[in-house]
Structure 1
Amino acid sequence: MIRLLTRPASRPALPRRPPVSRPAQADVDGSATGDRAAALWLNRLTRVVPRSSAAAQLVAGGLDSAGAIAFAAALALGVTCAPHLRGALLLGLAACALRGAAAVWSARLGAQAARSVKTTLRAALVDRLLRGRPLATAVEQGARGTDPVAVLTTGVESLDGYIARFLPARRVAGLAQLAALAATACASPVAAGIELATLLPFVLLMILAGSAAAAETRRQFQSMARLSNLFADRIANLPLLLGFGAVPHETRRLGLAADALRGRTMAVLRIAFISSAGLEFFAALSVALVAAYCGFSLLHLLPFAAPERLDLARALFVLALAPEVYAPMRRLAAAYHDRQQAMTAAACMDATEPGRDAGPPAPALSGPHLCAPPHLRFRSVGVRYPGEPRPALAGLDFTLPPGGSLALLGPSGSGKSTALGLLVGLPGVHDGRIEIDGTVLEPGASLAASLAWMGSDPLLVEDTLRANLALAAPDASDGRILDVARVAGLDAVLGRPGALDLILDHRGSGLSGGERRRIGLVRALLRAAPLLVLDEPTAHLDAASALALRDVLAGVIRSRRASVLIATHDAELAALADAVVTLEPRS
């Protein structure tokens, strides 16, 4: 039930987000279905990379292959043709310079592409978080040890190697191998056949090694996220742990989590080293077989009739080029672990569609731009969250005239926060409508650009007091900051030496609850918006602090410089407003 009074009352609380339907848990155990979904997600993500960058990487790979072939030719020419030694040396130096330039260019292109993809993806993920949308399938289902912080940091960083190293290596591998095999076949078809035949076990072993590493990489990622979550949670609750004497117990828990991560990491490294040794063995074996064929052919000791007769120049060319046939595959194998890490991370981000979400955050549906205190009208507004049996708000009616003040007074759970959240597009209107100066505010539209918000728990950043006060008005001068801070009652803080340069942490250590609350008020006043929203400004304050803050707010309300909407369960604060709407608790 809603009762309209003629006296003010109000107090705001943090807006609630509607419950988010939980999607089915992503397959983080390495099933074929999960791997295919992750692979498709990564393929869609790479569309963010400009085509010109991919083409440039192919060109860089082609230049590297040309340099390798030129170096092999220079080596053969220099050994077998003394009169052309100087030309061979120049050709070799040019080939080395070309390969070095191609490698640097390719690395830069890969780093730029990775930076672009990570920045774009993080923007999309943060945008989802701010809108209350699922960040990631695994996260939303509470996957073991995975949370949004781990996804935005470790998870997104896990894509770096995939974009910067694996994708360029995969693009170039086929082209470079074909170029090396074609050049080898021109000098010795038999040697080219030997190299081609030895590629089959090489590729097979690479696939097996990658599959074996996939499961361990997933477990390592989950262990890392679990340790990150546990550590952050214990640090945040350190005073509580100290009070209950639970520090030794939690220290042991952190040690066990760290040991688990170390074991997972060693398992991944063990597989990587074993697979690398196997790949090096096959690459060396193929080169040895080509060398044996060339040697026996030159000595005419082959146990079979060869369809060709090698001379020293061609044999040296083939031998010098033999490692280059396998070099692209070895580079791809070295970067294959990056792909497995990216697959693991993709399993925790497959709720984000890169083709649609990976981009600059889509702007919120904007509401009307306010240049003066607005005429605000709620007409039978109701809100119902999905899956909730009762409405969060029902039949809310009130009118806030320009420059006036109105308080929503009620206990916790009465819908005060839900009503305030409607102004910034958090929940959607289920019934009724909201009017701003006679214009209907569309569902999901936000007045955030035209209002100033003061909450019960202001966000503090690890920076100076000046930076925290000017968070909503970065261009404000020190003089204006000091004037507004004194109006907000921060005289005690400002009296300290070098007050504006005082370093604060995210908890506001060294400040009282009332002083932290006044920082939020200073931000709201510095913004000088035409609509001021106060969300539980006196909540959890002692009587003296609440009284002092009410005196400051009374002056703000009397100034009539903005329309003021308050949500509170503090009847004395609500009495300062021109009108009070009392919300009864939901039955």
Structure 2
Amino acid sequence: MADPARSKVRAWLSGLARNSQRWITATVLAGVLAGLATIVQMVLLAWLIHQGVIEKTPVSELTPVFLALLAVLVIRSAGQGLQTRFAARCSERVRRDARRQLHHHWKATGPVNLADTSAASLAREWLDHVEALHGYFARFLPQMTLSVVIPLAILVLVFWLDWLAGIFLVLSAPLIPLFMALVGMGAEKLNQQHFETVSRLSGQFLDKVRGLTTLQLFGQTEAASRTLEARSDQYRKITMKTLKVAFLSSAVLEFFASVAIAVLAIYIGFGLLGYIEFGPSDELTLFSGLLILLLAPEFFQPLRTLSQHYHDRAAALGAGAEILARLEQSVDNAEPIRPDNGISDHGIQMSGVTLRYGEGPVIFNNLDIRIKAGQVIALTGPSGGGKSTLLHLLAGFIWPETGAVSVFGEAPGNQPFGWLGQRGFWIQGTWAENLRLTTPDATDIAIDYALRQVGLGELVDSRADGIHSRIAEDGLGLSGGQARRLSLARIFLADYPLILLDEPTAGLDATSEVFILEALHKLSESGKTLVFSTHHQALLTLADRVLIVNDGEVRDA
């Protein structure tokens, strides 16, 4: 994927920030409250020490000030707690918006166009890349404002106490942002390389694991291991480079902040001892000198915190570039317009549909089809004739170049429908968990009934755990026919009005074919609209209408 320009990534991040501006503002206000409480705390602490050491004020007279100091500590803690809470809410909102954008793009792209993309890359975009936005919105963005407001408030107070000490702070403060910018230039590029490398590594690792049996059959496991080792070593090197930049930047920033505070301490110390007579140094007291020393670390703390969170910005820009590259991928086809015809409210209609993949040849040209609700339609014809493509159009997985498609009065995919492709989908878990993927609230009784409808009753009874028997990913633990019937049981359980099946009996033994035929017959008798592609003669006899699909033409048999 081509990397979007940095300006586009920043604009996208700014758009996410605008949608959560209320929480960002609340985070900043809570941080300002905590910062102002810190300033008041230092003022009270310096005044208490001055009164106790210099003025010899009795402790009993200082009790109200001690109580005020405790109250300020409580306010500071409350401000910090609210800042963390509001930051978490802001990040949660932003990540939800980012995932919503990805979901909308994936939906518009469709599973057919996403088939060439590694599942691991999509998973990392959804999980790791989106999670990488957390630090930027929860910490870095609010801290940018706090690193200006709090130091300015401290600077005003320090100038009022001693203008020469204020000048020291003003001269040293720009060093931290300067080095942050210099470090950030390299860190941003490294983080983007980090995300690109780990995405490729994840995709390759998942592909190798899924194809482990094939690799063993062809004796390529050693070569695959060496490839993964090389990619892992590359990932290690980039990770270490990123960590090196982060540690070095922190060390440099801490050094300059420490040097600035040390210079200020030397000035105040020699000023109080009377060795410096320049400027306002002769007016220094224990109160003013101690307060300046207490405020100096707090002056640099927001800037140091910002520098610590600067890698969050680099990580967000790197992850944002990957996400935005996905979002900017063009979707070939636009959503079709539903035909203005009454029949489309009661069945399926294609009107003037023309379809092609990219710049390839036309697959369908000005296609018109009408299917009544409750009909059983069989699509047959030579392989490569367009049967699967026609099913993809009805499912809303792809959109036509021109023309319109209506499914029960709505655009394809807007209403729930049953889909049984040539390759099923299962997760590692129990049979019940796999069936509840489409019907989360299904009872054990309903699941057991659905399994028996597809001829898996005897298998359920033979298992000690029944419907809670476990299967591995990709249906391992079941035969091909049993796994296909398990997928079909989902359709029985969900009770969809429209069911689309792509070669439902392909590659099955005779016993499994019989069970599939019986299950489809039950679905047809219940009034469901069935559209399936097949070469199987028994399935053709089940259909109310047989359509021959060949070379872009669809005609009745």
TM-score by length of 2: 0.87
- 1:353 Cα deviation from its structure 2 partner: 7.3
Deviates more, 1:306-315 or 1:335-344: 306-315
Determine if the alignment matches structure 1 residue 580 to structure 2 residue 546. Answer: yes
CA distance in 2, matches of 1:141, 1:325: 53
Please state how far the C-alpha of 1:25 moved relative to its aligned partner.
1.7
| Higher mean displacement: 278-287 or 83-92 | 83-92
- Which residue of 271, 274, 283 maps to 1:309? 283
Name 2:355's counterpart in structure 1.
383
C-alpha distance in 2, partners of 1:156/1:581? Answer: 45
Aligned partners of 2:268 and 2:289 also within 8 Å: yes
Contact preservation (8 Å) 2:261, 2:296: yes
Aligned to 1:483: 449
**Relative to structure 1, is the Cα distance of residues 189 and 474 closer, same or farther in structure 2, using a 3 angstrom cutoff?**
same
1:410 is matched with which residue: 376, 381, 398?
Answer: 381
Residue 411 of structure 1 contacts residue 585 of structure 1 at CA under 8 Å; is this kept in 2? no
Counterpart of 2:475 in 1: which secondary structure? Answer: coil
2:48 to 63, 78, 82: 78
- 3-state DSSP class of the match of 2:398? coil
Could you tell me which of 64, 87, 90 is aligned with 1:110? 87
Amino acid at match of 1:335: H
Match of 1:546 among 513, 532, 539: 513
2:182 to 208, 226, 244: 208
Residue 110 of structure 1: how far off its partner (Å)? 1.1
In the alignment, structure 1 residue 471 sits paired with structure 2 residue 442: no
Q: 1:181 aligns with which of 152, 155, 179?
A: 155
Aligned partners of 2:146, 2:389: CA distance in 1, in Å?
55
Q: What is the aligned partner in structure 1 of residue 498 from structure 2?
A: 531
Identify which of 149, 153, 158 aligns with 2:123.
Answer: 149
1:433 deviation in Å? 5.2
Contact 2:378/2:531 (8 A) holds in 1: yes
Taking a change above 3 Å as real, the CA distance of residues 446 and 417 of structure 1, as seen in their structure-2 partners, is: same
Alignment-derived partner of residue 54 in structure 1: 24
Give unpaired runs (5+ residues) of structure 1: 1-23, 28-33, 355-362
Query: Which residues of 2 match residues 26-425 of structure 1 at below 5 A?
Result: 26=3, 34-51=5-22, 53-82=23-52, 83=57, 85-132=62-109, 147-302=121-276, 304-306=278-280, 309-351=283-325, 374-378=346-350, 381-388=353-360, 390-394=361-365, 396-425=367-396
Aligned partner letter, 1:65 = G
- How far residue 190 of structure 1 moved from its aligned partner, in angstroms, is 1.1
Q: Residue 436 of structure 1: CA displacement? A: 6.1
Cα deviation digits, residues 177-217 of structure 1 (max 9, x gap): 11111111121111111100111222211211222222222
Q: Distance in 2 between matches of 1:476 and 1:299?
A: 82
Alpha-carbon spacing, 1:578–1:174, altered in 2? closer, same or farther (3 Å):
same
Identity %: 31
Counterparts of 1:377 and 1:226 in 2: how far apart (Å)?
Answer: 42
- 2:336 touches 2:403 (CA, 8 Å); kept in 1? no
Q: Which residue of 1 aligns with 2:398?
A: 427
Alignment partner, residue 14 of structure 1 = none
Alpha-carbon distance, 1:224 to partner? 1.9
Higher-helix-fraction structure = 2
Give secondary structure in 1 for the equivalent of 2:542.
coil
**Which stretch has the larger CA shift, 197-206 or 375-384?**
375-384
SS of residue matched to 2:283 = coil
The answer for the alignment partner of 1:521 in structure 2 is: 488
Q: Are 1:512 and 2:489 matched, yes or no?
A: no
CA positional deviation for 1:493: 2.4
Q: Residue 388 of structure 2 contacts residue 533 of structure 2 at CA under 8 Å; is this kept in 1?
A: yes
Give the conservation status (yes or no) of the 8 Å contact 1:146–1:222.
Answer: no
Are residues 484 and 497 of structure 1, via their aligned partners in 2, closer, same or farther at CA, if it must alter by over 3 Å?
Answer: same
| In 1: Cα distance, 2:425 partner to 2:232 partner | 31
Q: Is the 8 A contact 2:365 2:552 kept in 1?
A: no
The answer (yes or no) to whether the contact 2:499–2:531 under 8 Å persists in 1 is yes
**Equivalent residues of 2:405, 2:412 under 8 A apart:** no
- Flag the 1:210–1:302 CA change in 2: closer, same or farther, 3 A: same
- Larger deviation, residues 159-168 vs 379-388: 379-388
Matches of 2:404 and 2:189, distance apart in 1: 52
Structure 1: how far apart are the matches of 2:20 and 2:304?
24
Provide Cα deviations, 1:290-346, integer angstroms capped at 9, x if missing partner: 111111222221264547621221111111111111111000000001100001111
Tell me, in whole angstroms, the C-alpha distance in 2 between the residues paired with 1:73 and 1:349.
47
Cα distance in structure 1, aligned partners of 2:426 and 2:338 = 26
Q: Is the 8 A contact 1:410 1:585 kept in 2?
A: no
Q: Give, in angstroms, the shift of residue 175 of structure 1.
A: 0.5
Instruction: Give secondary structure in 2 for the equivalent of 1:423.
Output: helix
Deviation at 1:509, TM superposition (A): 1.2
For normalisation by structure 1, the TM-score amounts to 0.83
For residues 586 and 274 of structure 1, the distance between their equivalents in structure 2, rounded to whole angstroms, comes to 63
Aligned to 1:567: 533
Residues 464 and 319 (structure 1), Cα distance of their counterparts in 2 relative to 1, 3 Å cut: same
Q: CA deviation at 1:243?
A: 2.2
| 1:65 aligned counterpart, secondary structure | helix
Distance 1:349 1:545, change over 3 A: same
- Work out the number of aligned pairs and report it: 536
Distance 1:285 1:88, change over 3 A: farther
Question: 2:139 & 2:485 partners in 1: Cα distance?
Answer: 50
User: 2:110·2:396 contact (CA, 8 Å) conserved in 1?
Assistant: no
Equivalent pair of 1:374/1:563 in contact (CA under 8 Å): no
